[in-house]
Amino acid sequence: MEKYDLAIAYTWEYDEDFVALIRQMAQEHQISTCVFTEGNIKEITQKLKRRNLAIVSYLDRASDASENFLETAHILSRRNTKIFNPYKLVQHAIDKANMHLEFITAGIHTPYSIIIPPFSEEEEIYISLDDLAVLNRPFIIKPANTTGGGIGVVTGAETLKEVLEERMTNHEDKYLLQEKIYPQILDGKRAWFRCFWAFGKVIPCWWDDQTHLYQELTSEDVTRHELGKLFKITGKIAKLTGLDFFSTEIVWSTKEEFIVVDYVNDQCDMRFQSFHYDGVPNNLVRQIVFNMIKVIKRLRAQHRT
């Protein structure tokens, strides 16, 4: 039987550099790896069915994009394979309506929001002008489950007509209407942060919501601007969701509050900054991979005992 410490599935061409880095760093730590792609997934699935292949841990960056990977995902989730992130937990965590309510209960600050049901369930809804007035203008219209790269998000909505039209776009999804949050300016930078929860560790960084550019957040930055809550808030979100790897967006607002504005992104864009102007700083990607490798080492040790 073939056995690997880590299997990585991907379909996005821009994941190739990330996957190559994982395999390189894994080899340096004597971690065995294999890769599942559109080209070999049918063969992989047959090997798993015949129990000719065993996987200790699985980083799945494919089954959300291609149904060809779903059967493999189902097989591995039924076996003693550690899935990064567990599928059942992902479905709950990426629903922004679920997370909005859970964050409020946990004491995590979020934008003032109105949650409206899917168009497919209720074609007609009532939202008063008073409700819209509380949101202020412009406000944000955001689908609860359509994720990734701001897909489906309207950031400058002004009218109820826009709400009614937009909810028909993803007619089976709930929608959130949210107040627009404005960041303070720290050292000439917008106080908008993308925080990664990476296999037990918090990795926060500057992330400009207008340019989408990253900068590393130094320990000096954290101390000087009193940003320690970024770690506490991200850790609390990790505890609520149970996920291994995700990102969240947190703003130090003009109201002097840390506000979580984009709750849980489970498929993090790991393009390198050295290759893409809006990519993640290379050093941070290496930290994320190293954190994963440490977890896999512990899992491998458990499998051997």
Per DSSP bridges, beta strands 82-84 and 53-61 are: parallel
State the pLDDT at residue 5.
Answer: 96
CATH of residue 293's domain is: 3.40.50
Domain end position, chosen among 145, 179, 213: 179
Report pTM. Answer: 0.91
Is a pLDDT exceeding 70 seen at residue 151?
A: no
As given in the structure block, the two tokens for residue 94 are 């990426």
What residues form DSSP beta bridges with 251?
Answer: 192, 259
List the alpha helices (DSSP H) in 127-275.
Answer: 129-135, 160-166, 219-225, 229-241
The answer to whether 191 and 184 have CB atoms below 8 angstroms apart is: yes
pLDDT surpassing 70 at residue 305: no
pLDDT in tens, 219-236: 999 999 999 999 999 999
Are residues 174 and 199 part of one domain?
no
How large is the angle between the packed helices 41-49 and 70-78, nearest 10 degrees?
A: 30
Tell me the residue range of the domain where 298 lies: 2-85+287-304
Contact assessment for residue 63 and residue 10, using Cβ atoms and an 8 Å cutoff: no
Predicted confidence at residue 174, as pLDDT, reads: 85
91 located within any domain: no
Average pLDDT over residues 43-48: 96
Q: How far is CA 166 from CA 47, 115, 148, 262, in A?
A: 45, 14, 17, 19
Please indicate, yes or no, whether residues 235 and 188 belong to a single structural domain of this protein: yes
**Would the pLDDT of 57 be above 60?**
yes
Cα pseudo-dihedral 96, 102, 104, 106, rounded to 10: -140
Q: What is the CATH number of the domain that holds 258?
A: 3.30.470.20
Q: Is the pLDDT of residue 150 over 60?
A: no
What's the Cα-to-Cα distance from 259 to each of 112, 216, 233, 262, 301, rounded to whole Å? 10, 20, 9, 9, 40
More confident residue, 54 or 163: 54
Q: d(Cα 103, Cα 99) in Å, to the nearest integer?
A: 6
Total structural domains in the chain? Answer: 3
